[in-house]
Each structure stands twice: as C-alpha cells, then as structure tokens.
C-alpha cells in the first residue's frame, strides 16, 4: 500500500473523531460516511480508502467490545413515546398523500436559466413553470431532502442544488469545502391546488433534526445546516408558525434552531446528484440508514 496509506488514513480518522459529534452517531460511523463521500465524489487514492476501511473495522470492533453503554437522551430512547402537541398550541398541517416511487415530471437541467456562467460550474435555476409554486428547504444531505419532497403527490419536481452563498456557479467540491457559504438545499416546484406550502412544511419537519444547526446526522458542517428559505412574506409567516408548532409539540428536549432566511439564487447540482434515490436506490438506502436519519425519524415520530 505504500508509505502514504497508513499515515494518511490515520490522519483522516483523527480529524473525524475530533469533529462535533452527531447525536447517536459514533465517531467511526461518521468516518464511514466520510469514506463513502470520498469514494463517491473525490479522486481519493485507493490505498487511502483501503487503509481507512481496515482502521474503521478495528476501531468499530474495539468500541463494541470495550465501550460502556452510552447514556441515551430522551429523543434517542427507543422507549420514548412521542407526545401529542401541547394543548391549545399551534399544530402542523396534516401530511399530504405520498407515492414512494414517484418520478419528477421533468429533468432538473431542463429548467436551467441558461448555461453555467463559468466553465465547470453549475447552472442557475429558472423560475417555476406557469401554474407551479416554489419552496426551498435545506435539510442536510440533499439526496434525502429531495427524496422526501419528490414522493409528495402534487410535487412536479424536487431539485438538488446550492443556495445561500455569494459565489456564482458553485460546484459540489467547492460547497463541500466550506469556502462558498452555500447550503445543500432542494427547491420544490409544486401545484398549490394539490399540495399546500403548509403541507410541504409538515413533511420537512418530520424528516430533519431541528435541534441541530451544525449539520444533520452524520453530515457535519455549515453547508449541511437546516434552513427554510422563504420566497415571500406569506411563506415567512407560515414557516414561522410551523416552527412554533414544532417547538410546542413537546417532542424535543433541546431548542428548535432551524433558520428562516430569504430565498435567493439557486444553482442546480451536478447530474449525478439528481434523483439519487431512484437512480442508485441501494446506495441511497445504505447511506440514509447509516447516517442515523432513518432511526431518528422513527424514534421521534413513531414511524
């Protein structure tokens, strides 16, 4: 494997092990997710990936054999029953109907406002087609948020992309590097006669950890922070009311920290990120469960 492999692999694990923990995700679980990310999106030397995998196996076995049982917070306890909303408080809208295998009505890059403004960059998304409304959500990994939104009946298309930063035409690697200020997000074009904005919000809240503004689950960093981007004052009012409803629900033992910010330019992510849950379902399901998202949702919302 060469002299490069073991020092570099150990360095990668040290960096992840000392990063901010995600509730319920051990450091070696975060390292596994990071290794998957490197495999998917970066030209990481094969020897580094192999060495990292070996170190993960050893670390995981040692942790399982010697670690004391971790004290679990109420939100992470399998025995915790999700309480009802506080009597008299605000409530979330009812969930809309959903179809697990729904495909978008059109392709994301067909909705670009034009070619990328710089070589190798991403194109700007155009306004929604006539008859459709728009909504924008940051909920951690956009593969997951796109999947959650695309399944909703009445959603024309959910588009993975980047927003909230000053740089034009950012790429995945630039956003992941943390230098552009963008957030991984999803813009939803929907038919308001079939699914309302309040119902989109109800789906959004049920698929994130609203108490974590440093990332989501195994994905750490500001580009994974949860944000509701509002397109007008009515959306701001509804988003704020829904956030109040979540805070009043009694489901969380920490403050609700999801930001509500003005929507701006939205850059369409690279083709391999669109419809990932449909194009690579096995990979997607492994990632989603491995990140801790599925377990958190099931224990918090009872499904």
Do the domain assignments include residue 159?
yes
Listed in sequence order, the residues at least 6 apart from 175 whose beta carbon sits closer than 8 Å to its beta carbon are 162, 165, 182, 184, 223
pLDDT above 90 covers what percent of the chain?
66
pLDDT greater than 70 at residue 58: no
Do the domain assignments include residue 269?
yes
Instruction: Please give the average per-residue pLDDT across 97-103, as a whole number.
Output: 91
Do the domain assignments include residue 97?
no
My answer on whether 233 and 172 are in the same domain is yes
My answer on whether 26 and 155 are in the same domain is no
> How many structural domains does the chain have?
2
Q: Residue 34: its pLDDT value, please? A: 53
My answer on whether 144 and 288 are in the same domain is yes
Q: Residue 85: its pLDDT value, please? A: 39
Q: What is the pLDDT of residues 119-170, one digit of tens each?
A: 999 999 999 999 999 999 999 999 999 999 999 999 999 999 999 999 999 9
pLDDT greater than 60 at residue 20: no
Instruction: Please give the average per-residue pLDDT across 287-301, as a whole number.
Output: 96
Do the domain assignments include residue 123?
yes
| DSSP letters spanning the chain | --TTHHHHHHHHHHHHHTSPPBTTB-HHHHHHHHHHHHHHHS---HHHHHHHHHHHHHHHHHHHHHPPPPPPPGGG-TTPPPPPPPTTS--PPPPPPB-TT---SS-GGGGBSSS-SSTT--PBBPPPPTT-EEEEEE-SSHHHHHHHHHTBTTEEEEEEEEES-SSSS--HHHHHTT-S--EEEEEEEE-TTTS-HHHHHHHHHTTS-TT-SSEETTEESGGG--EEEESSHHHHHHHHHHHHHHHHTS--SS----EEEE---EEEPPGGGTTHHHHSHHHHHHHHHHHTHHHHHHHHH--
My answer on whether 154 and 239 are in the same domain is yes
Q: Residue 35: its pLDDT value, please? A: 54
Last residue of a domain, one of 46, 66, 86: 66
Do the domain assignments include residue 91?
no
Q: Residue 73: its pLDDT value, please? A: 35
When pLDDT is cut at 50, 70 and 90, the band that residue 101 belongs to is confident
Determine the structural domain holding residue 11 and report its residue range: 5-66
User: Rounded to whole angstroms, how far apart are CA atoms 281 and 286?
Assistant: 9
pLDDT greater than 90 at residue 302: no
Residue 194's CATH number: 3.30.1060.10
Do the domain assignments include residue 80?
no
My answer on whether 267 and 120 are in the same domain is yes
The more confidently predicted of residues 81 and 249 is 249
My answer on whether 45 and 173 are in the same domain is no
My answer on whether 56 and 114 are in the same domain is no
When pLDDT is cut at 50, 70 and 90, the band that residue 230 belongs to is very high
Q: What is the pLDDT of residues 194-228, one digit of tens each?
A: 999 999 999 999 999 999 999 999 999 999 999 99
State the catalytic residues.
Answer: 141
Do the domain assignments include residue 79?
no
Do the domain assignments include residue 74?
no
My answer on whether 289 and 193 are in the same domain is yes
My answer on whether 184 and 112 are in the same domain is yes
My answer on whether 266 and 123 are in the same domain is yes
Query: 19-23, 88-92, 257-261, 293-297: lowest mean pLDDT where?
Result: 19-23
Query: What mean pLDDT value characterizes the chain?
Result: 80
Instruction: Please give the average per-residue pLDDT across 41-55, as a whole number.
Output: 50
Q: What is the pLDDT of residues 26-38, one digit of tens each?
A: 544 555 555 555 4
My answer on whether 140 and 243 are in the same domain is yes
When pLDDT is cut at 50, 70 and 90, the band that residue 92 belongs to is confident
Last residue of a domain, one of 66, 83, 117: 66
My answer on whether 117 and 33 are in the same domain is no
């Amino acid at each position: 494997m060469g002299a490069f492999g073991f020092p570099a692999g150990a360095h990668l694990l040290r960096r992840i092990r000392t990063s901010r923990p995600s509730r319920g995700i051990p450091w070696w679980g975060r390292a596994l997710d990071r290794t998957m990310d490197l495999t998917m999106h970066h030209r990481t030397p094969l020897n580094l990936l192999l060495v990292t995998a070996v170190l993960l196996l050893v670390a995981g076995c040692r942790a399982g054999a010697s670690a004391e049982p971790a004290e679990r917070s109420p939100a992470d306890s399998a025995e915790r029953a999700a309480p009802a909303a506080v009597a008299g408080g605000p409530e979330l809208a009812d969930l809309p109907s959903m179809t697990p295998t729904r495909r978008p009505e059109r392709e994301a890059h067909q909705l670009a406002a034009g070619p990328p403004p710089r070589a190798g960059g991403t194109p700007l998304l155009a306004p929604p087609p006539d008859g459709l409304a728009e909504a924008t959500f940051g909920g951690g990994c956009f593969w997951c948020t796109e999947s959650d939104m695309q399944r909703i009946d009445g959603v024309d298309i959910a588009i993975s992309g980047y927003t909230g930063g000053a740089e034009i035409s950012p790429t995945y690697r630039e956003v992941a590097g943390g230098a552009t200020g963008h957030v991984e997000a999803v813009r939803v074009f929907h038919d308001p006669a079939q699914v309302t904005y309040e119902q989109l919000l109800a789906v959004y809240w049920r698929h994130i950890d609203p108490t974590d503004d440093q990332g989501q689950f195994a994905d750490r960093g500001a580009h994974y922070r949860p944000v509701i981007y509002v397109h007008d004052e009515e959306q701001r009012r509804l988003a704020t009311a829904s956030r109040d409803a979540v805070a009043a629900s009694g489901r969380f033992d920490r403050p609700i920290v999801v930001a509500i910010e003005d929507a701006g330019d939205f850059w369409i992510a690279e083709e391999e990120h669109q419809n990932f849950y449909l194009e690579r379902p096995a990979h997607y399901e492994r990632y989603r469960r491995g990140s801790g998202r599925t377990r958190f949702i099931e224990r918090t919302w009872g499904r």
